[in-house]
Amino acid sequence: MRVLVTGANGQLGYDVIDRLEKCGIEHKGAGSKDFDITDKQKTIEAICAYHPDAVIHCAAYTEVDRAESEKELCYVVNVDGTKNVAEVCRKIDAKMIYLSTDYVFDGKGETPFETDSSKAPLSQYGLTKSLGEDAVMAVISKYYIVRTSWVFGINGGNFVKTMMRLGKEKEQLQVVNDQIGSPTYTFDLAKLLVDMLHTDKYGVYNVTNEGYCSWYEFAHAIVRKARLSCEVKSITTEEYPTVAVRPLNSRMSKKSLDEAGFDRLPGWEEALSHFLNTK
């Protein structure tokens, strides 16, 4: 098998490349300097030249707040760029994994969202990722759409690294307690993505580490496990306004994973410990 990874320099792409190397799978990582996914012709040329059996599409516009003022750029990358990649995958009969997000949902209620729950994104980022899903499903049949949330990993910036940095600089951290979801460790997610490629179990999957928590509980666990002395104070979303609206409920059901016979990821606290011990 030959695998192309877009967004290879990003947080998830880094761990996907690492996993492919460990598994001895032929692969190539591509960043924005290699080819621009929003340029259809260059995307066709670059992917066809390598002619992979599968593409793991990690490249995306992910600046959630900035997307509200850069709506067109966010759309072009997450929708048009994704469609370009999907069309090349169809052309060369390659499988495609598209990484999506809990932000495709409206965050209402407390019940975990199923893979077929109605989508109603609250932000431009969520909207474009939802439309990216639609584009993939409309273009090809050999797809795995993987929705994830609260991602952290060894490469790049993330909530865990931010809390650790601020925890050393400040005596108190204020973190929202009414947004509930599941952290996802890219090391664990990358394993599952590579496993998926060895199957023809196409479809939509919700994939996070097991267990739910609030951002406050996540921050408290980070501070405790990292043995930092700062206090973590809980506040409401209303007390911490952001440019883009965040979903209050990011719980997602793993039913489709179970039905396909894929192993769930480890618990998020176990994943956090692994991350902190790896750094």
Has 125 been annotated as catalytic? yes
Residues 172 and 233: their CA atoms lie apart, in Å, by: 7
Dihedral angle sign, alpha carbons of residues 196, 201, 205, 210 = negative
Q: Point out the catalytic residue in the list 98, 125, 144, 185.
A: 125
- Residues 45, 34: Cα–Cα separation, whole Å: 11
3-state secondary structure of 96: strand
CA distance 144 to 182: 20
The residues annotated as belonging to the active site are 125
